[in-house]
Structure 1
Amino acid sequence: MQQPRFALRAFVLCLGAAAFSTAFAAKDEVQVIVGHKANGGGAVRAEVGKGGGRVVDDLSDIDALVVAMPRGAAQALAKHAQVDFVDAPVQRRVLGSRGVRATGSQAQVAPYGIAMVQADQLSDAQAGNRRVCIVDSGINATHEDLAGVPMTGENFTKSGAWNTDENSHGTHVAGTIAALNNSVGVVGVAPSGRLNLHIAKVFDASGSASDAVITRAMLNCGRNGANVISMSLGGAEGSRTEARAVARLAKQGILIIAAAGNDGNNTISYPAGFPEVVSVAAIDSNKVVADFSQFNADVELAAPGVGVLSTVPAFSQTGASLNVGGSGYTVQSMDGSPRASATGSLADFGLGSTATPGSMSGKVCLIQRGTISFADKVLNCQNSGGVGAVIYNNTAGDLFGTLGETVTTIPSAGATQADGATLLGSLGQSATVAVFGLPDLYAAYNGTSMATPHVSAVAALVWSLHPGCTAAQLRASLNKSALDLGAPGRDDYYGNGLVQAKAAHDRINGLGCGN
């Protein structure tokens, strides 16, 4: 198994100017995670104080502290006899993105993944004996398809409360697990309203958090009686802090499940890459691995992760409109675009490869897809004086673009290739592009984030029927009963195959736990 690529192999090398943001420049203060030896916490705290630092978070459950202190003192601390490591924080992000728009309140449907994982073939009448902890962006607890599901939670952000969701990702994950069988919306893997949820909110609207925050949340899951921890999140770098946490939780008998990653390559995402964690790949409705799903030796199970319909908070999704010369066009809002409206004459900005200050002043930029990222195209338009941006596709179909972490101030949207060709004949006409919130309560998302809750909920469902199994035995049963896909036997794309609830239940009935 590939070893985790930890944030700091040699602390002195990683404390360069680029490694940290210094919130307090005068003190050259950095925030680091300090792993110490058992019973060494007191000595390390004293050393932090001597160095002019302070403890930000106590992770004493895993013999670690998050501290803020001057850079030089942090370098010295790394050499202390009671210190095992001093690591820079690494970032984790949600691993799902929007797909096709759904609707507001609607007649109930069963998303394709429910039957695909055989959840519709098992009763969840005993699910009240299990608790799934969702480490994500919170939950819209008053959603029509989630209100009444038994849940507790804790907020590790400065955004809202644990039972609110400013990102929508956590609510979508929760719907796949537990959306109610109540005649509206969708149904989850465990739809009776008996499965207990614990919500550990780690993401605000940005969808990003440090490994220290993720670790705190995981430990909170353990303290609140979780049987399964579901993490639709990840990052490229390993974390010694997270490694300590998952090892501790696994020893407590908790099953930990995480997303394999959305980079579409053979790199490993963490925490999915730790041996104690089940790594989940994404497949589509035809049981074909998604092109974005990471493939490697750690992938263990596969589940539906393309066009997965589930719950979202009202007005968390964005739509867009475009009107040029009195004619309306169907466009898709860019993920990350500000919600705003702008009007100006439509101007051809080519591929948007270069910013030319003043060249697009007061205009709406029409940009062809290709060469550089959507974010760079929009930024170049903005820096050229543009008030709005429309990027048209270079292939058939709608353009669903994302700006990633790039912050822009102008509204931006994606158009089809055919509409782009038409718009090139309307240059100079008045154009209005707008991005706005939608009242939708359901949406289809893509990502290994969407696959992960299918596996987490199936694990809880099967375990509820066989509570005498250990976490390790249940994991083995899920792997041995998975539907083999791709190359015969285990492979890097599908792992052991598509998770199967009924097959796992039958296998345990016939052969016993873990056999």
Structure 2
Amino acid sequence: MTQVFKPLRTAVVLAVSAFVCSAAMAAASADSGSVRVIVAYKAGAAAKIRNGLVALGGKVRDDLSDDNAIAISVPKAKLAKLKALAGVDYVEEDVVHHILGTRSNSIKSRKVAAAAASTQTVPYGITLVQADQVTGTPKWTPKICIVDSGIDATHEDLAGNKLAGQNFSGSGSWNTDENAHGTHVAGTIAALDNGLGVVGVNGKKQVSLYISKVFDSTGSASSSTITKAMNACGRAKANIISMSLGANSASKTEKRAIDRLAKKGILFVAAAGNDGTTAVSYPAGFDNVMSVAAVDENKAWASFSQYNSTVDIAGPGVAVVSTVPPNVLTMGVLKVGGATVPSLSMEGAPVKGATGPLADFGFGDAPVAGSMTGKICLISRGNISFADKVVNCQTSGGIGAVIYNNTSGELAGTMGDTVTTIPSVGITQADGATLMGQLGTSTYVAIEPDPAKYASFNGTSMATPHVSAVAGLVWSYFPSCTAQQIRTTLINSALDIGDAGRDDKTGAGLVQAKAAIDRITAMGCGN
């Protein structure tokens, strides 16, 4: 059966406004009149602040004592009194962060991912960053901490690595991944050169991994959770902290933790963001964090990659094939008269299937009561949104929807914020024309769990682990170098691929493993 892959709805949420998301979280809480904030307190004031919180009806969410802070929910009406409590340093919003990677649905990327299932494939990014040119025996094994959605520790391409971790997400455990994003990131860093699947930058176990899990299947997490996770990385003696995540607002508490951990010799690497604008994403925008932009296999800047003065360096981030846990992502399935028709699942469509006769529903402009009862709606693209078309089919009694394109190419659509109850997929214009000649034929349409162990993703989320992994690879040969020296060397040895010199889109250029090693060999650390 031809399988066409589509990501979880939540995996495609990019840099949504942190304020809107935080408001949504507050509205969803048991106390709709409360807000989630971080309260930083002055030295020695912890007990006093906690007592004051109780008096104000506050509820402790997270203990951030490493950074003299506490995350709480408190009635909105009490915020002013909270800020006025003796010993309070500051009160800030508990900003929400999101993963910054989406699944790629191009025909080429699907073929590469499918090939990895049958024979070991070297992703183009490994060559672009020169990981395949590095030889010799490492002097030590740096530890990379991945702050993400966990890892499928049983994955055939990851299980042989040295793994440990901690779970802060409230979903599964650190060695499970209900989103797939974290496992994909881990594969780019350390998928084993074992004759299976793909190869990571550190395919010969040149690094160990510590997993600080912050995301569940929704792909969002609070600043307080991420701060706790970073501190766990520090306690685990991580050398590099890799964060393929971001928010539109800066958190003072996060910055406080990052600055403190950076002083202890940890290198921070984070995604620049996927809005394709000049906006700054955080934590990438902080001074002690390397901000990573994305490029494609031709070393061209990815149009979704945010560009600004904080961008330091670039890594491969378009159609990157890596490891994923089976049956976590979803795929669209369409069979007409028993024959498979290539399809893409509509983002946000429910995971379910339906069988019924195929029926022409035109443009799906308006519902017609009972007209589609028990049928699969065949709908042309155009006039109204995909979500409205599916809702109209559903309202008319339809049990599934197939939307065909009105121009050449595949059709990948979304339900947006609309909740639908029937499966829906998109197909090409040519296939739509063919199916118009098969009306009445028994048709099966479904969104099903995807059993694939490899998938292609886009995003600065994918570029970030390339840089983190190269940092670990280079550092493994030079244990005497400091984190700051490794950062400086990576920047000075990067391949200039944008405007001459540093530019806002790709920073210093494409990260280069062998060039960095050669530079340290010739000039010493940090030159």
Scaled by the length of structure 1, what TM-score is found?
A: 0.90
Among 5, 26, 36, the residue aligned to 1:20: 26
Give a deviation string over 1:265-309, Cα, whole Å, max 9, x none. 222222212222111111111111122222222221111111111
Deviation at 1:223, TM superposition (A): 1.1
Report matched runs for 1:34-45 at 5 Å.
34-45=39-50
Aligned equivalent of 2:521? 509
Change in 2 beyond 3 A, CA 1:441/1:49: same
SS at the partner of 2:476? helix
Cα distance in structure 2, aligned partners of 1:512 and 1:354: 70
SS at the partner of 1:20? helix
Q: Say yes or no: does 1:156 pair with 2:168.
A: yes
SS at the partner of 2:166? strand
Instruction: Look up the equivalent residue of 1:228 and give its one-letter code.
Output: I
Deviation at 1:186, TM superposition (A): 1.1
Aligned equivalent of 1:289? 301
Contact 2:139–2:476 at 8 Å: present in 1 too?
Answer: yes
SS at the partner of 2:309? coil
Change in 2 beyond 3 A, CA 1:504/1:340: same
Change in 2 beyond 3 A, CA 1:282/1:368: farther
Aligned equivalent of 2:153? 141
Deviation at 1:31, TM superposition (A): 2.6
- State which drifts further: 373-382 or 51-60: 373-382
Cα distance in structure 2, aligned partners of 1:349 and 1:34: 55
Cα distance in structure 1, aligned partners of 2:293 and 2:67: 29
Aligned equivalent of 2:87? 82
Report matched runs for 1:342-353 at 5 Å.
342-349=354-361
Report matched runs for 1:330-479 at 5 Å.
330-349=342-361, 360-369=372-381, 374-375=386-387, 377-379=389-391, 381-383=393-395, 385-403=397-415, 407-427=419-439, 429-479=441-491
SS at the partner of 1:21? helix
Deviation at 1:7, TM superposition (A): 6.8
Instruction: Look up the equivalent residue of 1:21 and give its one-letter code.
Output: A
Contact 2:346–2:414 at 8 Å: present in 1 too?
Answer: yes
Q: Say yes or no: does 1:59 pair with 2:58.
A: no
Q: Say yes or no: does 1:262 pair with 2:267.
A: no
Cα distance in structure 2, aligned partners of 1:64 and 1:209: 18
Structure 1 unaligned segments of length 5 or more: list them: 9-13
Change in 2 beyond 3 A, CA 1:347/1:504: same
Aligned equivalent of 1:229? 241
Among 208, 220, 223, the residue aligned to 1:211: 223
- State which drifts further: 63-72 or 146-155: 63-72
Contact 1:141–1:163 at 8 Å: present in 2 too?
Answer: yes
Instruction: Look up the equivalent residue of 2:36 and give its one-letter code.
Output: Q
- What is the aligned residue count? 504
Scaled by the length of structure 2, what TM-score is found?
A: 0.88
Among 310, 316, 319, the residue aligned to 2:322: 310
Change in 2 beyond 3 A, CA 1:19/1:197: closer
SS at the partner of 1:253? coil
Change in 2 beyond 3 A, CA 1:34/1:418: same
- State which drifts further: 327-336 or 304-313: 327-336
SS at the partner of 2:356? strand
- State which drifts further: 90-99 or 494-503: 90-99
Cα distance in structure 2, aligned partners of 1:352 and 1:252: 60
Deviation at 1:98, TM superposition (A): 1.6
Change in 2 beyond 3 A, CA 1:79/1:19: farther
Contact 2:493–2:515 at 8 Å: present in 1 too?
Answer: yes
Change in 2 beyond 3 A, CA 1:22/1:509: same
Give a deviation string over 1:1-43, Cα, whole Å, max 9, x none. xxxx9978xxxxx9x98783263348x3333211222332222
Give a deviation string over 1:45-101, Cα, whole Å, max 9, x none. 111012122322110111210112333223310222422332333221111122243
SS at the partner of 2:51? helix
SS at the partner of 1:213? helix
- State which drifts further: 38-47 or 148-157: 38-47
Change in 2 beyond 3 A, CA 1:139/1:125: farther
Instruction: Look up the equivalent residue of 1:295 and give its one-letter code.
Output: Y
Change in 2 beyond 3 A, CA 1:372/1:97: farther
SS at the partner of 2:378? strand
Give a deviation string over 1:431-489, Cα, whole Å, max 9, x none. 32112123211111111111110000001111121222221221111111110112111
Aligned equivalent of 2:53? 48
SS at the partner of 1:129? coil
Cα-Cα RMSD: 2.7
Percent identity of the aligned residues?
57
Among 214, 232, 236, the residue aligned to 1:220: 232
Cα distance in structure 2, aligned partners of 1:220 and 1:354: 54
Instruction: Look up the equivalent residue of 1:510 and give its one-letter code.
Output: A
Aligned equivalent of 1:197? 209
Aligned equivalent of 1:322? 334
Contact 1:91–1:210 at 8 Å: present in 2 too?
Answer: yes
Deviation at 1:248, TM superposition (A): 1.9
Instruction: Look up the equivalent residue of 1:41 and give its one-letter code.
Output: A
SS at the partner of 1:134? strand
Deviation at 1:164, TM superposition (A): 0.8
SS at the partner of 2:27? coil
Cα distance in structure 1, aligned partners of 2:174 and 2:379: 40
Instruction: Look up the equivalent residue of 2:398 and give its one-letter code.
Output: G
Aligned equivalent of 1:111? 123
Change in 2 beyond 3 A, CA 1:442/1:6: closer
Q: Say yes or no: does 1:96 pair with 2:70.
A: no
